[in-house]
Structures are given as C-alpha cells and as structure tokens.
Structure 1
C-alpha cells in the first residue's frame, strides 16, 4: 500500500488553467514534450465565429515583457515560509500574519491557503518615480546570477533595482513587476472582495489599463483623488494629489452600497453640547455661536464642510433643509406660523408633500420656522441621521498627519510617506470589512494596515485579521539612494534598529510599529482583541533537492540523502510548509501535544495532526486515531520500518476512516 507524498511546492497554475480549458474545449487538448498542452490555433478558432488566419490587431495593453510576466505568475516555486517565533507576539494563538520576503513568491505560496478568502487588499506599490525600487523577477537563472544582475548580495537574495526614467524599459519594467502580483492577488479575493491601489501620476494610466485586463473593466469600482500636498515646484501644472484606484472581484457579488462616516462629527457634537450648557434653550444664541465656531476651520477641513449644521434644538444639531416641492404647484395649501398664527410664506414651487404629512411633521417639531411668517419654513435634517455618506471621489488629507502619528509612536520620524490610518480605516468600514474578514497588504512598508486592523477591531468589536508582506529591503542600500529629508529619515531608522539590536531592514520597522501600536491602542481603549502577530520568513524549501527531482540522482547519490529534510530545519518549519501545501491558513490555532511519547502538532482542533519524530509505529497510530484527525502527516523516514509505514496507514484507515494520511 503506497502512501501519498506531499508536493511541498506552490500550485502549478499553468496546469490548472490547462485543465479548466480542457473541460470547456476538450478538442483543444494536445500533448507536448512537457505533457498536456493547449492547441492555441484551435482554441482561437473555437472562440471566433470567423475563420482565423493569423494575428489581428486588437484593443489591449502591450509592453515588452508582458509574456514574461504571465509566465512568471504561473511558474511554481518550491520555497517555503519559516516561522520566526522570537519576533512574533503570542504566536500560537494570534491570527494576524507578518511575512518577510519577496511578495511575488509569497503570493504564490498563499494561493491554496487563502484562495477566495481575502475581503480587502490595499497596496501602496512603488510609484515608479525613477528613484524608487522596482522588482526584477527572473526565476530562470540561478541565485548567483540573479544576485549579480540585481546588485543585491545580502542573505535575503533581494531582487530590488532602481528604475531610472532614462531606462529604455522605464514603464515596461514597472508593468512587468505589477502584472503577475496583481494576477495572483485577484485569486485570493473573495467574490465580493475589493482591492485598493495607491498610485500617482507616473503610472496612473498604465495601472488602470492593467487592472482592467486582470479584474475586468466592468469591475472598476472608481477612484479616489487624494489631495495630500500643496507643492508649487513643478513645471506646467503642479500636481498636488495622488490616486487610490478601486476594483471589485465581481460586481454581481458586491453591489457597491458603500458608505463612510463623515469626519469631525464628534468635535461638532462636543462643541454644540458646550454651547447649550452656556445658552440653554436659547437656540438663536446657540446658532450664532456655532457659526462663529465653524469659521476657525479651513475649507478643506471636514468640520467646515458641515457648517450648514449650525442649528440646534432639544433633539440635536440640524440644518434647515429645502421643503419645496419637486413639481410646480403639486401641493399648494396654507401653513400657519406656530407663534404669529399667520400664514407663512410658501415655497415658490409649492410644498414637497401633502398637507396632512406636513402637519404631522410640525406636530413632531421636525419643521424649522423663522421668527415670523415672512420666512419659508424648512425641514429639520439632523446630523445624527446623516452621519454616513457615499464614498467621495475627492478626499482632502494633509500628507503630514500620517507621519505625525507614526512619529508619536517612535518619538522621531523613521519612515517617509507612511499611509494614512484614518483614510484606510474608513475605506475598510465603507466596503464592509467586519467580523473575521482578512485584509491583505503585500507592499506593507511601515505596516500601517496592522495598526488599522487593531483600530477597527478595538472600536467595532470585530475580529478582523491582517496579512502583511514586505521584502526585507536593506536600509543601508536605501540610504545610498536617498536625498534631503528622506536621507535623514532612513539614517534615523538605521540608528533605531541598531539600538534595538535588530537587522537594519524595513521589516524590522514594520514589526516594531505593530508592537508599539498594539500597546498604545490597548492602553487607550482596553479593548479585548487580538494584538499579536505571527512572523514568517520566506526561505528555500525545507526539503532537499532530491525530494523534487529524484530522477536526477543515482542510487549512490541517494545514499547521501538518507534524510530528505535539510539540516537545521525544525518541526515548526516543516509544519508551516505542510500547512501551505495542504491549503490550510497560516493563522489557524496551533497546539503541541504528546502522544505515546511523540511531539504532535494539533492545528485547529482536528484539522491537522503533524508528527515529525522518528519511530512512528502501530501503537502510536492507535492512540492518534482516537482523536479522529481529518489530516495527518509524518516524515517519510519517520516510521520504525517499512512495515510500520504500511501498518500505520492501514490502522488509520480502519480506526479513523476520515483521516487523510500523507508523508513528506
């Protein structure tokens, strides 16, 4: 009886796509030297009602390297994620994930565990300004060639390169970087999932076209123009804004009924409560004081935009709304002023409702009258009933606010251009991120999204989780390319990390930010939420090369690999790779048990049992079967002998028929 062996590599998306096409067009399935393939000439003909004779012009975005980007997205890898317990907080219980590594490779590894499970993705990728880094992806060359070409020679094998505007493939390099990442990210979104992408004018147009192709033009959700600066140092038109582009995975599953809470409401309520304490029920005095109060704010402030809410009565703050009818003369009747008992001035278009309706509103004190009958009455629209509005396509945010908040955590500025917490939290609320939804940011930077999730959960009693991914960019390399204020900021980051005795890369800033933000929010709110996070680090596979290519080794060579697991790899390492291979989320609760003297990992109750100890035998199998695990995995050489392997498989089949057993 053979025991199934785990793949221990990311899914081969090419093979999956071939199988899907074969189901629809079986006649287009053919064979090649590498196995199954699609006859594209036949497929093109199947998708056309005219005879296909050759390539034709079509509407689509093309650039040098696009085919390479498609291949890059589909190519499987054998890498893994290794847990870093010493950097984590409450590793065994937390459901938040922080991953250090190249986001393209990480996205590949997450394909099965998080397929259709992410509610919202937000990313702030390199804007391609000519001075920032882009990724140079090339999986066809060995590590030494790649290190040499990319100019990176650190232990992380980074593939970050500067993409100057003078480069012949300036836009193409950036598009080739973004395409496979967005393609893989789409797979992770739930059907009603949403993606937001920050960008500036350099690649705004290209990003829209790429997203139209990947997500579908019909799934475009709109874009936010974010005014965040007041620069006046550019030629022609001074650009003082950035964009946040939005796409949904499927508009049929997400109808876009998105609302966001108006900003500044608490300040307004507090101010008018103060006026009432001074003036009592002298509502005219309260109104005059309110008008003065609003004048202190600039027009760009959300509080100022609500200045029409300057009236107040015993039911709250309101503004007198138009009460005229939609059609001229539809409802014409007399209304009497409650104090003078004279007929009030009627709106020129007539009233907006029948007489009995307006009499009811008057009886409920929902109509605003002037001092006498010479003014037109208005409907009272209370601020409490209009706290939410549709997401606006124009947002005013001072770009310095986010930096100020981050500086308050660290005591000094250690990161340039962090993301705005309030803006992102409002977006999360507006699109319906709640309960136990997952938010993903694979250009994590300073880990703003981690703080946003803590803030959201503490304020709304949700249990949302985050997955943050960031390449461990060497800050010393960044320092060499930085100028002006940015150079000073990077230098401060390096100084801080040296004081903390941490590696001098951007991931350490992100992790420290999460720890400090968690403490701050817990101290301020006392909310009982998950403040922890598990750290994983991208690395080469735990398995020896012989595991993937045994046919390349002779029997003499195989003797050198008596253990197909690389030396130095722990049970924690193996468990993480098994969870990814089996498509289990990395956030599942992990417990350590002892069964018949063996260390056993129990993941999410009985979802997975893993034992990587040696000497697995029939007695152990009998004890294990009592818990009826859904899945169980052992090392291939962990059994007492070959007979024990067969017997354990047979015993589990008899005593726990639902258990799926595999080996590595």
Structure 2
C-alpha cells in the first residue's frame, strides 16, 4: 500500500498524470515499450479536421512544474475511520462523509472511488489576503531531488523550496493548481465546479481554471454582493466577491431557478413567454451542429398585432419567406431544436395551438420563437440581496453557536443557490475547503425542503486554533472540530423546524501519515523471512484499529466508495472481509488449511469473487507461496486476480 506508492512516486514526473490519462483514453497511440506515437496522434487529429493553434498562451509561475508533479504523485497516507462516531445510530447508515486532513491527500484518496462521479464541487479557498494563507509544504525533497525529478535548474529548485512559509502569488498558485487538477478528474462529465474568490487572486485563478478546465467550459463570473456597504480601504469601495463557474464539458446544462412573476401572454394551454429558438451559444453553428440548421417558412399574411406570424417547415404560396438561424452579424448559427421536434410543435393554421411562431423585426426580417411555459429561468451573473451577504453567513453561524468562532463564514443561502444550479436530488457535492461546514447545512436544508437525497463529502485540515481566540476558550482546538459540531447542531435545528426523515448524520475519516520509523520498518521488510512483528498494528490510531484503517484505505482505493458494506467471510479458521466482488486478507493468521478452503470454495462456486487482495506483510512466506500457486491454477476455468500490497 504505502510502500508501493512511495516506490511509484520515485518515478513521477510533472507530466506523469497527463501520460497516464493519455494511456487510459488513447492506448492505441502507445507502442509496446510505452512510447507515445506522436506522429500517429497528429495524423488522427488532422483527419478529424482539428486545427493546430500555435498562438496560445498560458500562465507560468514559479512552482508550476512542482505543482504538476504533485498532481501525479500518489498518496503516502492512509484513511482511519472514527469507528465509535461512525457506529452511532444517527451516523451508521449515513452516506455523508467528513474527512479530516490535508485536502490534496484527500483528493488523491478519493480518485480511487470517485473519479468521474462527483456532480458538483463548491470550494471557498483561502483568498491570500496575507492573513488567511501561508504555503506550508513539507518539501520532502532537496534542491538536487527537484532538479532530478522535475527537470528544472538548481536555481529554480531553490526558489521553489523557498516558497515554504510564504503567501506570494506563486505560493498560492502552487497550492491551488494540483488540487484543481484532481478536482476536475473527480467531476462527472456533466459536472460543475463553483469557486468563491475575491480580487486578490481572481485573475490568477481565472487563468489556471481556463488551463485546467478549458476556456470553452467557463460558464460565468458571478458577482456576489457580499458587502453592500463596501470595503472602503481603497479608492473604490468593494461590494462584491467573485464566484467562478466551470463545467466539465461544454455540453453540460446547469439547472435553472424558479421564476418569479407571472406570464403576460396566454393561449388555451395557459401562460407563456416568447423565447428565441436560435441557439445563442456562439460555439454552436451550422458547422458543428448541421442537424440543427434548416429553414422555417413564414406566412407574412398571418401577421398579428404583436407582429407574430404562423410558420411551417414546408414552402408554398402562403408560407413563402425562408428563415435560417442567423446571428446578429448574419453568420450561420443553429436552432435549439431538431427538425422532428419543431414539426411536433408547429400548427400552421392556429396561433392558439402552435408552440412555435415567427415574429417580424423592425428591419423587416423574422425570428422564430418558442412559446416557453417554463416556470424556471437561468441564473443571472449578479447575486444580490438578503441571504448572500457576509453578515448573513455570520448570522446563520451565530444562530447555532451564539458566538462568532469563524471570520466571514459563507451563507447557507449562497451555497444552496450553487447546489440548486449544479446538482440534482440524488447527487454528491464535494467541498474540500469545508471551513465552518456551511455546505453540509445547506445540503440538509435543501433535502428537508424537498425530501431529496443529496450527499456531501467535506474535507477540512485540522488547523490549530489560536489560544487567544474565543473558540479555544470554548474548548475547540482545531477548525474541523467546529465544523463537525456545526453539522450536529444544524441537524438538530433542521429536525426541529422540518421534522422530516432525511440523512442528518455523517461518517468521519481521518487522513494519517506514518512516521519515518514505521516507514523504515515497511521498507526493510523481507517477505522471505519470518514475520517478527505485527505489521497491522503499525496502523493503529486513537480512532481505529490498524485493520480498520488498512481495509478502509483499500476499499476507497479499489473503487467501492464509502457506502459499500463490508462483510466478514469465514474460511476454515480465518475470517476474511468481503466487499462486493473482492475478498480482503488483512490480519495475520492465514494458514494452509484456510488456503485449501478458499480454493475449494472458489472452484465449487460457493465464493464468487474476481479479486483477492492481500496485505502481504501479514502472511507467512510459505502460505503466500502456496496461495499464489493455487490461485494461478484454479479449475473450472475460474480466474481470480491476486493483488499483493506492501
């Protein structure tokens, strides 16, 4: 496990993650030696009519090569469950997760089970105001190590090491870059990320997000009026913060908001408003959406007082004016609907029954409109009003604690707005800068209001609280303690106000490193020698036994997620652990009799698994050798993958 990852990290380079993703998505562009076939790749792009742009630009900063290296490095930590907390009645069946630890390590762990599965991410990272951020990297490398691993010169390596303890732009970017790279990998193809930020790092954040998520996937820079009075320490009183919104792909559609106000137009089907049928996204044109480019035909003699006219998809003497989707400059655009859907919504003889009509413009031309009856509308790029302000976030927090233990906590209403736009009732939201855990309260409020089943994964560093702060006097020692207490208090408040049966619990997992002394023991281990020490107990913590920690780390690594169940599985005398199609052997005690029983059950079909995962430190060499031999020679065409971890 950890030793395997440490060995793998010795060969990580700044482009390791990119190469790994290329191999996964384009394996046919690599030869048997693992070399990338660049010319074949270029030829494929040319055949797909892809233009090579040599005029692009990117944001370069001190530490970028190191940040890219961090993006590809594997975790050298483990996940320890808080067993007693997780067993409580209110938590044992919960699908909500709270992770204590460094969020970069948390993201690395989450990749095992949640890559491409997170619908929505909201983060409120440090703004780098000079007070809220200090880059604190352990830098387990010397300058010489960085020169060798990253391929930079010694002077740059020394400057990167000097970032530790700084709050410069480069330090902040080095901190944020790998976290955003991994966040993108976790998003579903229809996923969306919301990032709160202020002016200090807005420009830099926008550029690295354009690079990581793609400029074409930028949706909006929402101005959130957080302080209507304005922060007046500059010549302009700053009233707003930024909320950057990016989607994973350009095809992603965000949810709309409930529309306020009533319709002004009516027919026999009810109220409606006219919505232009032309797709106004400039990226969608006749060239890349040819099936959405076709003509409508207008009956100019059917014009009404509001300048609307009847339309058809066929030309004749009555419907004689041809209309194609054109943008404001006369260029080819496309419609939002295909021809079949348009045909279903046209009645060429009745304004009342037709859901598509034309409208004459002042210049004599025509546009095509849908009678939109939607009770929703797109979110706007200005969020102003009660609920979004900094003081609203403070008020919500103080209603639970009666003291201001947090500076400027986000408002639940602000995050609820993001969640409504970005996810559905059964989706997962990830917040890896959890802070005061506003996101958890927002999720519970939404679920209580519509009986949804939204889930959250929160991550918070156990940042120490200064002895001079109110929170310390109240008994809190780290930020995560306040966040977890807020979730519990908010759950009670929501239960009192709504009285509905929703998931108000959460499970806790803590990211733990191993000491150098223990790492040395793992490194010196010789599988051919006698086992003189219980290597499972090395993972014992104050919140769980070593077996629980190893099994949980494997469970997430192997793609089973936090909610899959673990069942004991009896062999001859040894009790293994079964998770879906995998059997895990973690603790000591496996004997030849157990191996015989395991093989028998695999061959007669009693045990149906695809993988057998071993914590190899716990198995004596003779038993391990026997297990290897028997697994490789299973009868009845059975095949089980044997995975040995160190």
Tell me the SS of whatever aligns to 2:200. Answer: coil
Q: Which residue of 1 aligns with 2:405?
A: 414
Tell me the C-alpha RMSD between the 2 structures: 4.6
Q: Which residue of 2 aligns with 1:462?
A: 452
How far residue 467 of structure 1 moved from its aligned partner, in angstroms, is: 1.0
Tell me the SS of whatever aligns to 1:475. Answer: coil
Q: Which structure 2 residues correspond to residues 137-152 of structure 1 after superposition, within 5 A?
A: 137-141=137-141
Q: Describe the shift of the 1:320–1:212 C-alpha distance in structure 2 as closer, same or farther (beyond 3 A).
A: closer
Q: Which residue of 2 aligns with 1:402?
A: 393
Q: Which residue of 1 aligns with 2:493?
A: 520
Q: Describe the shift of the 1:405–1:445 C-alpha distance in structure 2 as closer, same or farther (beyond 3 A).
A: same
**What per-residue deviation string (whole Å, max 9, x for no partner) do you get for residues 410-443 of structure 1?**
23332222222223223222234332x2211110
Cα distance in 1 between the residues matched to 2:114 and 2:401: 33
How far residue 221 of structure 1 moved from its aligned partner, in angstroms, is: 1.4
Tell me the SS of whatever aligns to 1:539. Answer: strand
Match of residue 632, structure 1, among 585, 589, 612 = 612
Q: Which structure 2 residues correspond to residues 87-102 of structure 1 after superposition, within 5 A?
A: 87-88=85-86, 89=88, 92-102=92-102
Q: Describe the shift of the 1:663–1:47 C-alpha distance in structure 2 as closer, same or farther (beyond 3 A).
A: closer
How far residue 660 of structure 1 moved from its aligned partner, in angstroms, is: 3.4
Q: Which residue of 1 aligns with 2:283?
A: none
Tell me the SS of whatever aligns to 1:82. Answer: strand
Conservation of the 8 A alpha-carbon contact between 2:571 and 2:594: no
Cα distance in 2 between the residues matched to 1:44 and 1:661: 35
Q: Describe the shift of the 1:548–1:115 C-alpha distance in structure 2 as closer, same or farther (beyond 3 A).
A: farther
Conservation of the 8 A alpha-carbon contact between 2:612 and 2:640: yes
Q: Describe the shift of the 1:529–1:425 C-alpha distance in structure 2 as closer, same or farther (beyond 3 A).
A: same
Match of residue 587, structure 1, among 544, 550, 563 = 563
Q: Which residue of 1 aligns with 2:464?
A: 474
Cα distance in 2 between the residues matched to 1:48 and 1:118: 30
**What per-residue deviation string (whole Å, max 9, x for no partner) do you get for residues 35-73 of structure 1?**
x78799x99999999xxxxxx996211111111211122
Tell me the SS of whatever aligns to 1:113. Answer: helix
Q: Which residue of 2 aligns with 1:66?
A: 64
Q: Describe the shift of the 1:181–1:20 C-alpha distance in structure 2 as closer, same or farther (beyond 3 A).
A: closer
Q: Which residue of 1 aligns with 2:104?
A: 104
> What's the TM-score once normalised by structure 1's chain length?
0.66
Match of residue 420, structure 2, among 413, 426, 429 = 429
Cα distance in 2 between the residues matched to 1:38 and 1:360: 59
How far residue 360 of structure 1 moved from its aligned partner, in angstroms, is: 8.9
Tell me if 1:545 matches 2:519: yes
How far residue 579 of structure 1 moved from its aligned partner, in angstroms, is: 1.5
How far residue 171 of structure 1 moved from its aligned partner, in angstroms, is: 1.2
Conservation of the 8 A alpha-carbon contact between 1:28 and 1:43: no
Tell me the SS of whatever aligns to 2:80. Answer: strand
How far residue 238 of structure 1 moved from its aligned partner, in angstroms, is: 1.0
| Structure 2: segments with no counterpart, 5+ residues | 47-53, 143-161, 276-297, 312-347, 355-370
Conservation of the 8 A alpha-carbon contact between 1:616 and 1:644: no
Match of residue 618, structure 1, among 589, 593, 613 = 593
Matched positions, count: 519
Cα distance in 1 between the residues matched to 2:7 and 2:503: 29
Q: Which residue of 1 aligns with 2:242?
A: 243
Q: Which residue of 2 aligns with 1:392?
A: 380
How far residue 450 of structure 1 moved from its aligned partner, in angstroms, is: 1.5
Q: Which residue of 2 aligns with 1:82?
A: 80
Conservation of the 8 A alpha-carbon contact between 1:10 and 1:78: no
Tell me the SS of whatever aligns to 2:111. Answer: coil
Tell me the SS of whatever aligns to 2:398. Answer: helix
Conservation of the 8 A alpha-carbon contact between 2:303 and 2:309: no
> What's the TM-score once normalised by structure 2's chain length?
0.68
Cα distance in 2 between the residues matched to 1:555 and 1:617: 17
How far residue 162 of structure 1 moved from its aligned partner, in angstroms, is: 6.6
Q: Which structure 2 residues correspond to residues 483-522 of structure 1 after superposition, within 5 A?
A: 490-491=469-470, 493-496=471-474, 498=475, 504-522=477-495
Using the TM superposition, name which of 590-599 and 73-82 deviates more. Answer: 590-599
Using the TM superposition, name which of 206-215 and 111-120 deviates more. Answer: 111-120
Q: Describe the shift of the 1:582–1:359 C-alpha distance in structure 2 as closer, same or farther (beyond 3 A).
A: closer
Q: Which residue of 1 aligns with 2:200?
A: 202
Q: Which residue of 2 aligns with 1:116?
A: 116
Cα distance in 2 between the residues matched to 1:173 and 1:121: 23
**What per-residue deviation string (whole Å, max 9, x for no partner) do you get for residues 206-238 of structure 1?**
111000001111111112110121234232211
Q: Which residue of 2 aligns with 1:289?
A: none
Match of residue 570, structure 1, among 542, 546, 552 = 546
Conservation of the 8 A alpha-carbon contact between 2:531 and 2:618: no
**What per-residue deviation string (whole Å, max 9, x for no partner) do you get for residues 456-493 of structure 1?**
3333333332111111110117x5xxxxxxxxxx41x2
Using the TM superposition, name which of 193-202 and 392-401 deviates more. Answer: 392-401
**What per-residue deviation string (whole Å, max 9, x for no partner) do you get for residues 107-126 of structure 1?**
12222221111111110000
Cα distance in 2 between the residues matched to 1:567 and 1:309: 63
How far residue 641 of structure 1 moved from its aligned partner, in angstroms, is: 6.7
Tell me the SS of whatever aligns to 1:416. Answer: coil
Using the TM superposition, name which of 415-424 and 444-453 deviates more. Answer: 415-424
Q: Which residue of 2 aligns with 1:662?
A: 643
Cα distance in 2 between the residues matched to 1:10 and 1:425: 43
Tell me the SS of whatever aligns to 2:237. Answer: coil
**What per-residue deviation string (whole Å, max 9, x for no partner) do you get for residues 587-614 of structure 1?**
32334566555444343x4555455241
Q: Describe the shift of the 1:248–1:20 C-alpha distance in structure 2 as closer, same or farther (beyond 3 A).
A: closer
Q: Which residue of 1 aligns with 2:180?
A: 182
Q: Which residue of 1 aligns with 2:435?
A: 445
Tell me the SS of whatever aligns to 1:99. Answer: strand
Q: Which residue of 2 aligns with 1:231?
A: 229
Cα distance in 2 between the residues matched to 1:230 and 1:44: 53
